[in-house]
Amino acid sequence: MKIVFATNNAHKLREVARELGDSYTLLTPRDCGVTEDIPENEPTLEGNALAKARYIRSRTGLDCFADDTGLEVDALGGEPGVRSARYATDGHDDEANKRLLLERMASVDDRSARFRTAIALIAGDEEILFEGVVRGAISREEMGSNGFGYDPIFIPEGFDRSFAQMTDDEKNAVSHRGRAVRKLVDYLRKR
């Protein structure tokens, strides 16, 4: 069965494809001729995930889902949160985002944080939201080079390695996105 994952992020696509398995053919917006940026201007992760999924639905008519993710740092009152992609600049500058976060945390002892993913699925005439959360801590410096985004500075609870020091499978087993996608897969299987 075909389903569109409304993302332009190749790393997300790879992580999700591993969890989704062979029953689904995962299409990207580009595969469906949608090459423009998908707007995400909502104040919540759930709102953005729904907006992205609805956009792709209206352009393709196909069943689809979207993921919006934020890193929520306790000592910063939940920042960068929904603004995670545009924390340091208007664009997706991962290096600047990590640098700014480490700077803001330089003299902060409480390193606790969580990654949160909201997935919005549009299947048939249903719209459903799934959430995945992983708690952890912001490291003092970058560790590892796998993954993407804030992975080198996030150490999931129960580990002494960052997400960027894990394989895709290790990360998926405990990550925000892995947890949300497994709920999505469960739902799709039962449908």
**Cα torsion 83, 84, 89, 90: sign:** negative
Burial label for 138, CB within 10 Å (0-12, 13-18, 19+), is buried
Closest CB to ligand ITT among 33 and 190? 33
Shortest Cβ 83–ligand ITT spacing (Å): 8
Which tokens sit at 103? 């700077």
C-alpha 70/C-alpha 39 separation (Å) is: 16
Shortest Cβ 154–ligand ITT spacing (Å): 7
Upstream peptide bond of 152 is cis (omega within 30 degrees of 0):
no
Q: Catalytic annotation on 74?
A: no
Closest CB to ligand ITT among 10 and 191? 10
Q: Are strands 2-5 and 25-27 parallel, antiparallel or unpaired?
A: parallel
Look up residue 2 and give its amino acid.
K
Site string for ligand ITT, 9-38 (x = CB under 6 A): x--x--------------------------
List Cβ neighbours of 13 (8 Å cut-off, separation of 6 or more).
5, 7, 26, 28
Interface residue with ligand ITT, options 46, 74, 79, 94 (CB under 6 A):
94
The yes or no reply on residue 63 touching ligand ITT (CB under 6 A) is no
Shortest Cβ 164–ligand ITT spacing (Å): 8
The yes or no reply on residue 68 touching ligand ITT (CB under 6 A) is yes
Task: For residue 38, give the DSSP letter.
Answer: P
Kind plus residue range of the DSSP H or E element containing 187: helix 176-190
C-alpha 36/C-alpha 67 separation (Å) is: 17
Closest CB to ligand ITT among 123 and 132? 132
The yes or no reply on residue 69 touching ligand ITT (CB under 6 A) is yes
Catalytic residue among 63, 68, 74, 93: 68
Near ligand ITT in 145-184, by CB under 6 A: 147-151, 163, 177
Which residues would be at the binding site for ligand ITT (CB under 6 A)? 7-9, 12, 40, 67-69, 84-85, 92, 94, 97, 147-151, 163, 177
Q: Which residues are catalytic?
A: 68
